[in-house]
Structure 1
Amino acid sequence: MIPVQGMQGLRVAVLGLGRSGLSAARALAAGGAEPICWDDNPLAREAAQAEGFACVELTRDGAFEGVARLVVSPGIPHLYPTPNRVVAAALDAGVPVDNDIGLFFQSFATSEWDEFDVAPRIIAVTGSNGKSTTSALIHHILEHAGRNSQLAGNIGRGVLDIEPAPSGGVVVLELSSYQTDLARSLTPDVAVFTNLSPDHLDRHAGKGGYFAAKRRLFAEGGPDRAVIGVDEAEGAFLAGQLSEGAVDDRVIRVSVDRKLTGPGWQVFARKGFLSEYRNGKQAASIDLRAVAGLPGAHNHQNACCAYAACRALGLAPKVIEAAFHSFGGLPHRSQTIGEKNGVRFVNDSKATNVDSAAKALQAFKNIRWICGGLEKEGGLDGLTDASSSVRKAYVIGREAAGFAMQLKVEAEVCTTMADAVARAIADAESGDVVLLAPAAASFDQYDSFEKRGDDFSQLVQAHIAKG
């Protein structure tokens, strides 16, 4: 646990008692603060009370008298589309609003570091797509290299649940826009921006607000190194804002669209090869085509970002390349479930928006595509160019018929996952890939994209197990 510093003897309100909220309450108490908690769910309140935390209804008059800070869980809106009523009450009372990420950055460094040979480092990863894979890959590379590494944030453990870092330790954080938007303290040593595509637009009042939330990690944090994907206008703009000029190697530009040139520091992938250039000269090259855990251009972008972050810490290219080959990938992200009769089954349930689904489609050929679910804003036109390898789509979800009508490929309305998998198996031929890449949220039929992916995987495994 990371005890919260700077709050000793102070009363701190905690709103939302899920994983991050309870973790924050524990860390506050460990640091000598007095947490008072609230969640609209009575079961969540009971769980907090069972741990000895006081629960106080934060909407009542005077609830924020004597409160030094309000700590809010990431799923609770603080500004758009409308502020949560407790957040609004705190702001009216002049109480600062924060989250567990802000508390972590405020508390991570301790006086014990004065005795360390090497100060611990933090690598923070944000962006629209690829955050989880990039974060997990960085963590894997560090462990492969024998470095003490912990993975936390939007993946792995809660940030305040990790252990205090030893000398030379590295913490790898995946941070969503919900987390970066509110944290009062953001001070990573290396910050990574993978890419930007429309997502969570209601929460940020549009794409500009969404980008602004991501940008805070760099503008507020002032990292020593910034790894920036520059294939979108926002990334190119951010790299330009952070750089003092063409030779400023504090910014490492990343691309999978083109070769990057110039006197700075660049990492790019073209035709399956990762290249590192510094001062206009090639420093390293890695063949990514044989890396089974990182298929497709979108994973090559993840590889470039992870490579650049690890190079910023001084790891050698050969060490990073070896770690790539032992990386197994993450569940629900271009995850191969198995193969039968020459047909490969791939679970990319994490492809919850059009951009991520398009990248999954571009990674394979001869696709039997299972898609559909709770459609997000912006429509499905972005899938058209990526659908050339799709032999047929099998559409699930409560609005499957409407979803299918928007696709530019042959589509069959299946509604349920079981029906979609059965129909895809019946149609598939040797050399085909049955790919779950929904391009939609899961909440019309499942509690999470993980549950959706697990359903697909179980159906596929049952098919493979048959004689």
Structure 2
Amino acid sequence: MNSIISFLKNRRILILGFGIEGRSTLQFIEKYIPDTDVAIADRNPLPLENYKDKYPVFSGDDYLKDALLQYNDLVIKSPGIKMNAENLNDVEVASQTDLFLRSYADITIGVTGTKGKSTTASLVYHLLKSAGRNVFLAGNIGLPVFDIVPLLDKNSIVAFELSAHQLQRIHRSPHVGVFINLFEEHLDYFGTFQAYKEAKYNIFRYMKEGDIAVTNDSIASFIENKSINVVDYNSLDISLNKDLLPFRGEHNIKDAKAALCACKAMGEDVDKMLPYIYTFRPLQHRQEFVGTFHGVSFYNDSISTIPQTAVAALETIPDVTFLLLGGLDRDVDYSFLVNYLVANPVKYVLYIGKAGKRIFEELVNASYKGIMLHYDTMEEAFNIIKSYASPGDVCLLSPAAASYDRYVNFQERGTLFKNLATKF
């Protein structure tokens, strides 16, 4: 912790982005270096209301330009704010992730991947916790790392979920890096798939000799650092009773293998860890069975924001009758999903948003044989389902698109779906 404090001490700091992580940064500074000159910047003025009497705050359309005129010594950036925004490339920019890994990489299992990183990081945490290890869960699915730092000792382990946004401009990779899979995603932020991939590969790029990369063959082939140990999670030979597993789908088996390999890298015996897999509680909004109401079964897979996850859900959940697709269009290639649906038609495809419209048009061009219906709200979708559903039908929300055009996040979208399902 002292190295982080030393880095921040005697600096004029701009906290850029004032969500969960930004507030965590401020709390850390207030507690450990309270005399620091700090300002807060966020486009949205609402989070800043309670702080403007104590700190300089910047909000509105020109918030960053105005802030950097006065605070250009050090910026602590929250994930998701583009690095090319305004003059951000002309100042020193750090992040909680970057500063944490500089000091605590040796006790960190970092987990990334386009999909499955939350489940895998949570599995790592659950397995190690069950084995009696002093483990913490950090990242989007856990706590901000600055909240964890005061609690760490030499025997601690941190399971750290890492998005591409968090991996940008880090200077040290975790001792154990887990990279599950890689698909097109976040093109609205990164601009190109190549830029997105480059950010993801930072999980291995700054490893030291003896560090461990847990991944698959296709990702491993691009690893440039030859001094590290590479483990293919697909090669892990284990026997799992699928009837007792708390999750379904081959993708979840891969997540479990990756988690076990990460635990092994931290000195655990895989065979002794296997029973703990069965006591894991799956995360919400991931092929989550909501229940059966008036004979219709509902599954919430709101986490699905790319075509590959929608296909995975369709392959895992049998006999889907209603498929809810669409949302924010991020220019992702939908041919994989379209080709799958043409070969495996769902009776009713309900679509929403610009992404849904594009999927609809591509399905029409591909002579799709199912019935396609447009909806503007989740309530309207359920009215449509009520009009056509029969006992024994299965309804799946697996949008293959981001939620931000209508909802705060995928959790809000999934929760609304679940609430409406229980009232069906």
Q: 2:362 aligns with which of 406, 426, 440?
A: 406
Q: Letter of the aligned partner of 2:69 in structure 1?
A: A
Q: Letter of the aligned partner of 2:80 in structure 1?
A: G
**Distance of aligned partners of 1:454 and 1:301 in 2 relative to their CA distance in 1, 3 Å threshold:** same
Q: 1:63 aligns with which of 48, 69, 72?
A: 69
1:211 partnered with 2:197 = yes
Deviations 1:353-391 (A, max 9, x none): 112212111112101222222233134211145435553
User: What is aligned with 1:186?
Assistant: 172
Asked if the contact 1:180/1:213 (under 8 Å) is kept, the reply is: yes
- For residues 224 and 145 of structure 1, the distance between their equivalents in structure 2, rounded to whole angstroms, comes to 22
Asked if the contact 1:141/1:323 (under 8 Å) is kept, the reply is: yes
Offset of residue 76 of structure 1: 1.1
User: What is aligned with 1:134?
Assistant: 120
- For residues 209 and 191 of structure 1, the distance between their equivalents in structure 2, rounded to whole angstroms, comes to 19
Residue 382 of structure 1 aligns to a residue whose secondary structure is helix
User: What is aligned with 1:251?
Assistant: 230
Spell out the pairing of 1:14-29 with structure 2 (5 A cutoff). 14-29=15-30
- For residues 243 and 386 of structure 1, the distance between their equivalents in structure 2, rounded to whole angstroms, comes to 38
Asked if the contact 1:375/1:439 (under 8 Å) is kept, the reply is: no
Asked if the contact 2:285/2:302 (under 8 Å) is kept, the reply is: yes
User: What is aligned with 1:280?
Assistant: none
Offset of residue 424 of structure 1: 3.7
Q: Letter of the aligned partner of 1:442 in structure 2?
A: S
**Distance of aligned partners of 1:5 and 1:104 in 2 relative to their CA distance in 1, 3 Å threshold:** farther
Residue 23 of structure 2 aligns to a residue whose secondary structure is helix
Q: Which has the higher contact order (CA 8 A, sep 6+)?
A: 2
Q: Letter of the aligned partner of 2:96 in structure 1?
A: D
Asked if the contact 1:87/1:97 (under 8 Å) is kept, the reply is: yes
Q: 2:417 aligns with which of 420, 442, 456?
A: 456
1:345 partnered with 2:303 = no
Asked if the contact 1:152/1:171 (under 8 Å) is kept, the reply is: yes
Offset of residue 7 of structure 1: 2.2
Residue 143 of structure 1 aligns to a residue whose secondary structure is helix
**Distance of aligned partners of 1:211 and 1:176 in 2 relative to their CA distance in 1, 3 Å threshold:** same
**Structure 1 portions without partners, runs of 5+:** 110-119, 256-265, 268-274, 276-284
Q: Letter of the aligned partner of 1:370 in structure 2?
A: L
User: What is aligned with 2:335?
Assistant: 381
Offset of residue 443 of structure 1: 2.2
- For residues 101 and 337 of structure 1, the distance between their equivalents in structure 2, rounded to whole angstroms, comes to 35
Spell out the pairing of 1:305-320 with structure 2 (5 A cutoff). 305-320=258-273
Residue 412 of structure 2 aligns to a residue whose secondary structure is helix
Offset of residue 131 of structure 1: 0.8
Deviations 1:265-291 (A, max 9, x none): x32xxxxxxx2xxxxxxxxx2225224
1:46 partnered with 2:49 = yes
Q: Letter of the aligned partner of 1:105 in structure 2?
A: L
Deviations 1:106-140 (A, max 9, x none): 3548xxxxxxxxxx721111111111111111111
Spell out the pairing of 1:199-238 with structure 2 (5 A cutoff). 199-222=185-208, 224-230=211-217, 233=218, 235-238=219-222
Please, what TM-score do these two structures have when normalized by structure 2?
0.87
Offset of residue 157 of structure 1: 1.4
Residue 423 of structure 2 aligns to a residue whose secondary structure is helix
121-130 vs 31-40, greater mean Cα deviation: 31-40
Offset of residue 428 of structure 1: 4.8
- For residues 61 and 438 of structure 1, the distance between their equivalents in structure 2, rounded to whole angstroms, comes to 38
**Distance of aligned partners of 1:309 and 1:409 in 2 relative to their CA distance in 1, 3 Å threshold:** farther
- For residues 40 and 444 of structure 1, the distance between their equivalents in structure 2, rounded to whole angstroms, comes to 18
Residue 367 of structure 1 aligns to a residue whose secondary structure is coil
Offset of residue 152 of structure 1: 1.2
1:166 partnered with 2:162 = no
User: What is aligned with 1:97?
Assistant: 93
Residue 222 of structure 2 aligns to a residue whose secondary structure is helix
Residue 25 of structure 1 aligns to a residue whose secondary structure is helix
Q: Letter of the aligned partner of 1:392 in structure 2?
A: K
Query: Sequence identity, in percent?
Result: 30
User: What is aligned with 1:435?
Assistant: 396
Residue 391 of structure 1 aligns to a residue whose secondary structure is coil
Offset of residue 349 of structure 1: 0.2
Which of the two has greater helix per residue? 2
**Distance of aligned partners of 1:30 and 1:9 in 2 relative to their CA distance in 1, 3 Å threshold:** farther
Asked if the contact 2:173/2:202 (under 8 Å) is kept, the reply is: no
Residue 309 of structure 1 aligns to a residue whose secondary structure is helix
Q: Once superposed, what is the RMSD of the aligned Cα atoms?
A: 2.7
Please, what TM-score do these two structures have when normalized by structure 1?
0.79
Asked if the contact 2:173/2:205 (under 8 Å) is kept, the reply is: no
- For residues 428 and 405 of structure 1, the distance between their equivalents in structure 2, rounded to whole angstroms, comes to 24
Q: 1:37 aligns with which of 23, 40, 46?
A: 40
